[in-house]
Structure 1
Amino acid sequence: MRKGDAAMADRVQALADVAKERGIRIGLAESLTCGLLASSIGKGSDAENWFAGGVVAYQTEVKESVLGLTPGTDPCSAACAEQLAAGVGALLEVDVAVSTTGVGGPDPQDGHEPGTVYLGWSTAAGEGHRRYAFDGDPERVLEQTVDAAIDLLEELVTGMPRAT
């Protein structure tokens, strides 16, 4: 077991417990993380009751046709992150949707430095994003992105009222 795996499992289980207790369904749109986030949170107990699923949309065309990204939107941007979250939220009819997008590295892409990451979210209360500048090789950037997305999910789910 890698260092931190037990702590991650505990965090995912805490997220699962709150989502189940409140009847909140979660969905994901992943670009940068290519399914790593879904793989991590899907390990929470009774995931079939609170984790609706996710869409891995790496190509821009898929982001546009499946998740409703406005053509011409910078794929490494706040606007993209918010649109992906809103798109997957509507597609999966969930209470909380989170998206990941950015540049993992090791090289810059389209004028964005490696480690530039945006997380988007969408709930009935609205949409938003967070921007990060992570360090390290591509694997480390992805690990940090998954960790930050789980933090965001915990924050969103904990702050929501029980679903009706």
Structure 2
Amino acid sequence: MTDGIIDGAQPLLDEIASRLDGDGRTVAVAESLTAGKIASHLGAAQDASTWFAGGVVAYTNETKYSVLNVDRGPVVTATCAGQMADGVAELLAADVAVAVTGVGGPGPEEGKEAGTVYVGGRAGARSLTAELHLDGGPTEVVEATTLHALRMLVDLVRGS
């Protein structure tokens, strides 16, 4: 990690910024497990003030339900990640959104093992979800999740 940027994140941030700068599209993030790490990376990217709409750290289930319009029930699911992405896109009027939810550890949650993570994204009518099973402790899971979310954002901004 250099200057707070996770190793491997800078090329992803550079591509996101270059594809969005000046084209009018905006990005939003909804984070549970990563507690703002994705947003802090995006906010440090080139010309972020022109394309980064912002983010919501929805750490508690109730915040997911009431702010992001996630259906009540389990939140460590692909459905929840997709609904979080939809909710933050709507809330912040963003064209592209990514969201993460999961279990950082050290123990299981909602019957899911530590390292189980869901990433959801959307760009217009296009939606993506990914289920990850990551190794390591909470710090490693958060860092790997951040990189996966940034990779999904690259995919979404390339394809939209």
Q: Distance in 1 between matches of 2:127 and 2:150?
A: 17
Separation of aligned partners in 2, 1:32 and 1:2: 22
Gapped regions of structure 2 (runs ≥ 5):
none
**TM-score scaled by structure 1?**
0.91
| Residues 123 and 157, structure 2, Cα contact 8 Å, conserved in 1 | no
Does the C-alpha gap of structure 1 residues 119 and 6 become closer, same or farther in structure 2, counting only changes over 3 Å? closer
2:21 aligned counterpart, secondary structure: helix
Identity of aligned residues (%): 43
Could you say which residue in structure 1 is the equivalent of 2:133? 133
Gaps of 5+ in 1: none
The equivalent residue for 2:34 is 33
Shift >6 Å, 4+ stretches: none
Residue identity opposite 1:102 in structure 2: G
- Measured after TM superposition, the shift of residue 5 of structure 1 is 4.6
Match of 1:52 in 2: 53
Once the two structures are overlaid, the 10-residue window that deviates more, 6-15 or 18-27, is 6-15
The amino acid that maps onto 2:14 is Q
Cα distance in 2 for partners of 1:50, 1:21 equals 8
Counterpart check, 1:146 vs 2:141: no
- Give the Å deviation of 1:19: 1.1
Note the C-alpha offset of 1:116.
0.3
Q: TM-score, normalised by structure 2?
A: 0.93
SS where residue 22 of structure 1 aligns?
A: coil
Deviation, 1:70, is 1.0
Tell me how large the CA RMSD over aligned residues is: 1.7
Letter in 2 for 1:144: A
In structure 1, how many angstroms separate the alpha carbons of the residues matched to 2:61 and 2:21?
33
How far apart are the structure 2 equivalents of 1:80 and 1:110? Answer: 13
Alignment length (residue pairs): 159
